[in-house]
Chains A and B, each alone.
Chain A
Amino acid sequence: AQRVTQPEKLLSVFKGAPVELKCNYSYSGSPELFWYVQYSRQRLQLLLRHISRESIKGFTADLNKGETSFHLKKPFAQEEDSAMYYCALRDYTGNQFYFGTGTSLTVIP
């Protein structure tokens, strides 16, 4: 069963516009949610995790347990934000990470 769903494969926004990358999860316990970013031909990097409630590179994400969502948001997109973004969930045992299929974000100059 798909535990992490990212409904948008591709997303394009203009520079300076707000951006929201959607992530929904399906999990019966209390998951830990993450966002990872992969710039062109680079390794995946941790962008943020919900338990730390921090803002990285202007991105924020709030865990909404009622809607089982963990959408990634940024008020003003920059060209350097163009990348592949993956939402991930760690199960209650802490052993496995489940990744969504990713959203490719393109910021248009």
Chain B
Amino acid sequence: NAGVTQTPKFRVLKTGQSMTLLCAQDMNHEYMYWYRQDPGMGLRLIHYSVGEGTTAKGEVPDGYNVSRLKKQNFLLGLESAAPSQTSVYFCASRDSHSGAFFGQGTRLTVV
């Protein structure tokens, strides 16, 4: 049982490049989340989804887009990467009654 898996684990981008982070969960969870983790700021919610085909903005959505075409996958896209998006990104999922289960994180550096 893999739980929540994030791809890739590390990435270096140049300013202006685009990329997509993939989050996959095998627990049949309805809810999925993307967070970024920065020193001194904790985890901040970027976007989330309450079910297949739905997405919603979190606290810091600017510069990011998401899609939930399949229940098990939640994609986070950066259209034009900026150095301010250098961070560690965590995906999480949960069902109606559980706490959140997190992926192992993606360390992104934008130069």
Binding site for A on B (CB under 8 A): 4, 31, 33, 35, 40-45, 48, 50, 56, 58, 90, 92, 96, 99-105
Contact = CB atoms under 8 A, between A and B. Distances in A.
A11 interface: no
Contact of B40 (A9, A36, A45, A96): A9
Given A95-B56, A97-B33, A46 B45 contact: no
Contacts of B44: 99
Interface of A: 6, 9, 34, 36, 42-46, 49, 86, 88, 94-102
B42 A86 contact: yes
B42 A102 contact: yes
A43 B31 CA distance: 18
B42 A42 contact: no
Contacts of A43: 4, 90, 102-105
